[in-house]
Structure 1
Amino acid sequence: MKVSTRGEYALRALIVLGHRPNTVMPIAEIAEKTLVPVNYLEQILLQLKNLGYVKSKRGIRGGYKLRKSPEQIVIGEVIRQLEGPLAPMGCVSVTAYDPCPLEEGCLLKPLWTLIRDTVAHLLEQTTLDDLLSERIPNVKKKAGIK
């Protein structure tokens, strides 16, 4: 799994909005804080809006704010919706399985499965609130990672 710039920028925008979850922020302010060009950020925020993570307000005092609380926004869910499957290879994907002619008896498949499971588990244990509170050590503990 590789997170694209779109995925990273979306998470950056959610973090910025999460610092002031009840405040409508102008897109220019979000762009300045995330270092994302306004035109690209508009596309990303529209996608986040369509997915139900943010809502927009039009007008002179318009902008974006979170639709869900930071505790309700699971990073794994966001990444899957923006990027697709978390699996490093199609033969171990839960949501987009792609068979391989060498799959039976493949000695790599257990490794790809472990990577998929570890990444998915960690991302599904992490909320926007965890990131905002800098609680990654607690997330690692919940995920059973030392």
Structure 2
Amino acid sequence: MKISTKGRYGLRAFIDLAIYSEEAPVSINSISARQDISERYLEQLMAKLKKAGLVKSIRGAGGGYILARKAEEISAGEVLRALEGSLEPVVCAAFHPEEECSVKESCVTKYVWQKLNESMTQAVDEIKISTLVEKSRSAGKGGKDNE
């Protein structure tokens, strides 16, 4: 599986949002400045995250974005799937009836792909955003303790 720029930048922006939105909404402009990601691109990423129900937008002066749920309730997997779609490194016809495969019934490699897909899903779903926020703070990458 290769995570695109959407996933890499989006996860960085989401962690930034988790750190800085604890007390007030965070503007695209401030995330852009801290993470060196263009505002236009961030707007696209935030739209995807909002559609997935992971962030909320607050209008008006002092508005911006906040997390829709607590950081400890959101996994890195949720964020990545909202931005990338499926994270499966191999789309196998054995598990996706809409896919065509001439050896679907006799193929034994499907077990490899199933285990790989399950392992990757489990790995990203076990990593909570709150853990990444803590790691960011301990690495000196921002947050209330490092402002």
Shared fold (TM-score, shorter chain, > 0.5): yes
Distance 1:98 1:50, change over 3 A: same
The equivalent residue for 2:33 is 32
Change (3 A) 1:76 1:93: farther
Q: CA deviation at 1:86?
A: 2.3
Coordinate RMSD, CA, aligned: 2.4
Equivalent residue, structure 2, for 1:140? none
CA deviation profile, 1:18-65 (whole Å, cap 9, x unmatched)? 112322112111011222110111111122122211112223322212
CA distance in structure 2 between the partners assigned to 1:133 and 1:49 by the alignment: 23
Please give the residue correspondences for 1:1-146 in structure 2 after superposition, counting only pairs within 5 Å.
1-22=1-22, 23-91=24-92, 98-134=99-135
The Cα shift of 1:95 comes to 6.8
Tell me how far 1:116 sits from its aligned partner.
0.8
Q: How far apart are the structure 1 equivalents of 2:104 and 2:94?
A: 13
* Structure 2: runs of 5+ lacking an equivalent: 137-147
Partner secondary structure for residue 135 of structure 2: coil
TM-score normalised over the length of structure 2: 0.78
**Residue identity in the other structure for 1:90:** V
Q: Indicate if the aligned counterparts of 2:90 and 2:113 stay in contact, CA closer than 8 A.
A: yes
Counterpart residue type for residue 126 of structure 2: Q
3-state SS of the aligned residue for 1:55? strand
8 A contact 1:9–1:36 mirrored in 2: yes
Paired with 1:105 and 1:118, the residues of 2 have a C-alpha distance of: 23
Q: How far apart are the structure 1 equivalents of 2:80 and 2:97?
A: 15
Change (3 A) 1:109 1:11: same
Cα distance 1:128–1:3, how it changes in 2: closer, same or farther (>3 A)? Answer: same
Distance 1:126 1:96, change over 3 A: farther
Identity of aligned pairs, percent?
35
